[in-house]
Structure 1
Amino acid sequence: MEITLVPGDITEQQVDAVVNAANSSLMGGGGVDGAIHRRGGPEILEECRKLRASPFGKGLPTGQAVATTAGRLPARWVIHTVGPVYSRSEDRSGLLASCYRESLRVADELGARSVAFPAISTGAYGWPMDDAARIALEAVRQAHTQVEDLRFVLFDAAAYAVFEARL
């Protein structure tokens, strides 16, 4: 598997699957989640509503992943995963690593060979970028996956520099 870093907007990635740093409701939100829902269009929200109607009636649990169509994005699928909120008093790093492992498991089930990840939990959920990069890179390097092209799409230069130093 080749791991690359890409500066820019994850909604512009031409890959098999884009990973969404979703909230547990799967109904859209801010940051990456909002951008994916806005650019991907109503098809994504429609499939998320169906997921909420049956298997995930109480929402998607933290650290888990599920796929929907990518709607109008230049990808085939969106893999939604719910990252943990950072806590200084509780070690939630296993949940953050699970987001990456579970997203790759879902990618393998779909047959996706190229996947674009954001830096999960580093926005509104407050995870420090350096620690998040360490956890993300360790998790994907240790994963047994058929994904060949794995990209971390980083929105700003500071995030890119942190991931670059860790890579």
Structure 2
Amino acid sequence: MVKSQSSTLIRCPVPDVFGFVVTDFVRNYPRWSPEVQELTPLSSGPLSVGWMARQVRIDQGRRSEADFRVIELEPDRQVCFKGIKDPFVINYIFEPQQDYTRLTFSFELARLNFAMRPFEKLIRVAVKDGTDRVVRDLKILAERELGQKKTTD
């Protein structure tokens, strides 16, 4: 199993950050995770438990396609995705800290296929770099766009 978790403090309240991540997921996810080349909803409507999508990613030159579903969704607290065929779980946790949001992002890969096992150490490093990058990029985007929204309201 390969697991990593990263956290950041975003200078916006939880409902705004949750909306940026969850309500606007289809629009914003490829923006904070630029490896996502395509994101296609397989379900209609807003994210809810059972909602599904397909992503096409290019990670370090390697193309992959994966379908995933929402397995947990608690408004202003958490959204969790799980691969349908692929053994991954992605979790976003939102915690209020005064007018800020503590965002914790975790990625878990339940198992590596046999061909990838010799590269487990490199994969662990890449996954940690990935979780760090996600929270950094998400923080930059959310603060820039949600902060602009406040000044124009």
Structure that is richer in strand per residue: 2
What TM-score comes out, normalization by structure 1 length? 0.30
What TM-score comes out, normalization by structure 2 length? 0.32
- Larger-Rg structure: 2
